[in-house]
Amino acid sequence: MIPQSVIIGIIVAIVGYVLQQRAWKHKLYEDTRQREFEECLKLIDLLSRAIDKRLMAISVFHGEVEKGIANKEDLSTYRDSIKEWMHEFSSFKSKIYHYFGRDHMLVFENEVHAQLREVSDIVLRTHKFGKGRLSTKDRKEYESARQLMDFARHTAFRFLRELNEKLSDGEVGRTALYNNIAVGHLDLISRTYLIQRLLGLKS
């Protein structure tokens, strides 16, 4: 017969191991959450600066085209700003997808970027051909350029606000998947959480 002291020792060892594993997992979760929070905060800051820079470049070049004073140097400066934006574009898409999900990545590509590109193309076309040689359709588009710019700015700021809200709510990165029944990652759902759900202790 196994001595009672040995049984108690085994139980204490098992409980200690379980508690140690639980503490380690919690620390890993908190470390990951903090790291992802800081990385998301940095990403939002970089996005905000890049969008502001892109909007400013469009606004300045539009003003030069409107006044009829845009020259080769102005065009070169503006094209450099486009290259700078596109240089970071794929990286931004990848990071947004990783931290905020596919839907927000598509908003960035199909709304924020697309609207900036639309007004940019209108201004570049007007500079190329001159306001006096635009077709009726193209002239109407150019006359709405400032309005389109404001719309693009509103879309961009709404997008950034949504990213900030998700970050504030802790709905970013891998840590957002922990104990999240909705996304279906069973490997990231603890048994304790599932039991609490069954007992009605967790919603």
Please report the pLDDT score of residue 49 as a whole number. Answer: 98
pLDDT for 114 beyond 80? yes
135 and 102 fall within a common domain: yes
102 and 200 fall within a common domain: no
Please report the pLDDT score of residue 40 as a whole number. Answer: 94
Average pLDDT, the chain: 84
63 and 117 fall within a common domain: yes
Looking at the 3D structure of the chain, how many domains does it have?
2
Interatomic CA distance for residues 51 and 41, integer angstroms: 15
Q: Please write the tens of the pLDDT for every residue from 143-186.
A: 999 999 999 999 999 999 999 999 998 888 766 544 444 444 44
Please report the pLDDT score of residue 193 as a whole number. Answer: 44
Q: Please tell me which residue, 160 or 6, carries the higher pLDDT value.
A: 160
Q: Kindly report the number of other CB atoms within 10 A of residue 51's CB atom.
A: 23
35 and 104 fall within a common domain: yes
12 and 101 fall within a common domain: yes
Q: Please tell me which residue, 50 or 199, carries the higher pLDDT value.
A: 50
Q: Please write the tens of the pLDDT for every residue from 29-50.
A: 566 678 888 999 999 999 999 9
Q: Which CATH number do you get for residue 117?
A: 1.20.120
Please report the pLDDT score of residue 62 as a whole number. Answer: 98
Directed axis angle between helix 114-129 and helix 4-67, to 10°? 20
Please report the pLDDT score of residue 189 as a whole number. Answer: 47
113 and 138 fall within a common domain: yes
Tokens of 72: 């080769």
pTM assigned to the model: 0.76
Please report the pLDDT score of residue 15 as a whole number. Answer: 64
133 and 186 fall within a common domain: no
CA-closest candidate to residue 85, choices 124, 57, 45: 57
- Alpha-carbon dihedral 27, 31, 33, 35, rounded to 10 degrees: 180
For residue 21, what are the domain limits? 4-172
pLDDT for 187 beyond 70? no
103 and 142 fall within a common domain: yes
Please report the pLDDT score of residue 172 as a whole number. Answer: 87
Interatomic CA distance for residues 30 and 150, integer angstroms: 40
Please report the pLDDT score of residue 84 as a whole number. Answer: 97
37 and 80 fall within a common domain: yes
Tokens of 170: 């802790």
Interatomic CA distance for residues 106 and 109, integer angstroms: 5
166 and 185 fall within a common domain: no
40 and 105 fall within a common domain: yes
Please report the pLDDT score of residue 33 as a whole number. Answer: 75
Q: Please tell me which residue, 106 or 10, carries the higher pLDDT value.
A: 106
List Cα–Cα distances, 124 to 5, 68, 119, 153, 165, in angstroms: 84, 13, 9, 19, 35
